[in-house]
């Protein structure tokens, strides 16, 4: 066995040093990408000076500082997405214990994060569906273990609404192979409890009425045939089951270019089926579609509104130019519905 060699002591303080002005022109993003590249280099010499300690501190600081809902690999985001069901559980309208839950368009970065929280909160089976395969299965699997350990340490902090004890979380982890998850091996996931389906939400490999709770985040606005997806969701959900779907109706070009207006894509002609991957259905327009598919809409929550003046509206193509201001102004929202 090789004992760790002792590095120079007192070196952590160096992180408090003055910023290097030569690096000032580079954005944090550029520096993060550069650092990731360097960390991957096979010749990385961690034994040189205090590099290992400095990176160790940085790792912990990054982990703390990036606990945000915009970070898909954080613990905060899956916990927040899992909490979309919280009000329904707390009111007794929906029970997670023993439930079958489904997430549509669960993404390719951390596809099973939200569903893992549901499993640890008592779901019997949690299934995620996405067209895209995971981009980095090893990282996503490690993030899953980190999330599970955080849930084990403090379920009352990450999912207070679920009222789970540490013993219950530990019991829910029973079928997972934690050493495999540690290595980033997806085979460590208990497939009888937590499953990722690589396919379309238009054809779900699930039985009629099997699902108690179905959710999605920033998914429905990307689906060209949204009625087909809602019909399929209605098929697999049991009567009384709860559906919660958050919809992002902002022009997705703004996420890469802040100078782009949140509704600029409404200027493009209506015959374009997708613009920057979005159908441009306005969030509140989904309400009628849910009703038509066999759901009773319990609430439409507005999450973000932008002001639309007449000049802006005149720049839109039809049908948006003639839409009520109220419909146009609500750009993000969440639909809560019950399967009839």
Ligand X SMILES: C[S@@+](CC[C@H](N)C(=O)[O-])C[C@H]1O[C@@H](n2cnc3c(N)ncnc32)[C@H](O)[C@@H]1O
3-state secondary structure of 120: helix
Residue 128 touching ligand X (CB under 6 A): no
Per rule CB under 6 A, is residue 71 in the interface with ligand X?
Answer: no
Of 192, 198, 229, 199, residue with least CA distance to 214 = 229
Q: Which of 182, 224, 231 is nearest to 208 (CA)?
A: 231
Q: Beta strands of the chain (E only): which ranges?
A: 100-104, 125-130, 194-198, 211-217, 237-248, 295-305, 330-339
Using the minimum distance from each CB to ligand X, give the nearer residue, 112 or 129: 129
Which of 223, 263, 293, 323 is close enough to bind ligand X by CB under 6 A?
223
CB 266, min distance to ligand X, A: 19
219 binds ligand X (CB under 6 A): yes
Stretch that binds ligand X, among 84-92, 175-183, 212-220, 318-326 (CB under 6 A): 212-220
Q: Which of residues 172-201 bind ligand X (CB under 6 A)?
A: 200-201
When asked if residue 72 is in the footprint of ligand X (CB under 6 A), the reply is yes
The pattern of x and - marking residues 76 through 115 that bind ligand X according to CB under 6 A reads -----------------------------xxxx-------
Residue number, 290 or 316, with CB nearest to ligand X: 290
Between CA 82 and CA 330 the distance in angstroms is 24
Q: Which is nearer to ligand X, 108 or 332 (CB)?
A: 108
Distance between CA 119 and CA 198 in Å, rounded?
20
Q: Which two tokens stand for residue 154?
A: 């403090």
Rule CB under 6 A: choose which of 30, 61, 97, 132 binds ligand X.
132
d(CA 269, CA 315): 11
CB of 110 to ligand X, least distance (A): 7
Q: Does residue 211 interact with ligand X by CB under 6 A? A: no
Minimum distance, C-beta of residue 23 to ligand X, in the bound complex (Å): 31
In a 13 Å sphere around the CA of 129, the CA atoms on its Cβ side amount to: 20
| 176 vs 219 by CB, closer to ligand X | 219
- Pick 63 or 225: Cβ nearer ligand X: 225
| Encoded tokens for 159 | 């999912």
* Residue 96 and residue 165 in contact, taking contact as beta carbons nearer than 8 Å: no
* Omega within 30 of 0 (cis) for the link into 319: yes
How big is the site for ligand X, counted in residues (CB under 6 A)?
Answer: 17
76, 139, 218, 327: which one binds ligand X (CB under 6 A): 218
Q: What angle do CA 290, 113, 295 make, to 5 degrees?
A: 10
According to DSSP, residue 232 is labeled H
| 194-198, strands of its sheet edge to edge | 194-198, 125-130, 100-104, 211-217, 237-248, 330-339, 295-305
CB of 117 to ligand X, least distance (A): 14
Residues of the shown chain interacting with ligand X in the complex, contacts defined by CB under 6 A: 72, 105-108, 129-132, 200-202, 217-219, 222-223
């Amino acid at each position: 066995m090789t004992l760790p060699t002792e590095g120079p002591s007192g070196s952590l303080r160096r992180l408090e040093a003055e910023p290097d002005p030569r690096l000032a022109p580079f954005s944090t993003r550029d520096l993060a990408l550069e650092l990731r590249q360097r960390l991957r280099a096979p010749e990385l010499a961690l034994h040189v000076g205090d590099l290992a300690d400095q990176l160790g501190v940085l790792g912990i600081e990054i982990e703390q500082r990036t606990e945000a809902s915009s970070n898909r690999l954080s613990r905060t985001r899956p916990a927040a997405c899992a909490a979309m069901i919280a009000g329904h559980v707390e009111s007794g309208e929906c029970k997670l214990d023993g439930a079958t839950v489904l997430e549509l368009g669960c993404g390719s970065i951390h596809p099973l994060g939200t569903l893992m929280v549901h499993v640890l909160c008592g779901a019997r089976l949690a299934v995620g569906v996405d067209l895209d395969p995971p981009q980095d299965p090893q990282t996503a699997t490690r993030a899953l273990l980190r999330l599970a350990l955080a849930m084990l340490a403090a379920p009352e902090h990450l999912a207070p609404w679920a009222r789970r004890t540490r013993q219950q979380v530990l019991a829910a982890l029973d079928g997972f192979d934690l050493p495999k998850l540690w290595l980033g091996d997806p085979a460590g996931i208990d497939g009888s409890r937590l499953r990722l389906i690589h396919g379309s939400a238009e054809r779900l490999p699930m039985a009629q009425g099997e699902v108690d709770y179905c959710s999605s985040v920033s998914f429905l606005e990307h689906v060209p045939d949204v009625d087909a997806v809602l019909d399929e969701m209605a098929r697999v959900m049991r009567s009384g089951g709860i559906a919660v779907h958050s919809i992002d109706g902002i022009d997705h070009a703004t996420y890469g270019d802040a100078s782009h207006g949140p509704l600029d894509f409404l200027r493009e002609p209506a015959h374009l089926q997708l613009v920057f991957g979005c159908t441009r259905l306005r969030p509140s327009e989904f309400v009628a579609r849910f009703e038509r598919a066999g759901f009773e809409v319990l609430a439409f929550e507005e999450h973000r509104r932008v002001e639309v003046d007449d000049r802006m509206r005149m720049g839109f193509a039809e049908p948006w130019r003639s839409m009520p201001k109220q419909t146009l102004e609500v750009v993000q929202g969440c639909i809560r519905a019950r399967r009839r």
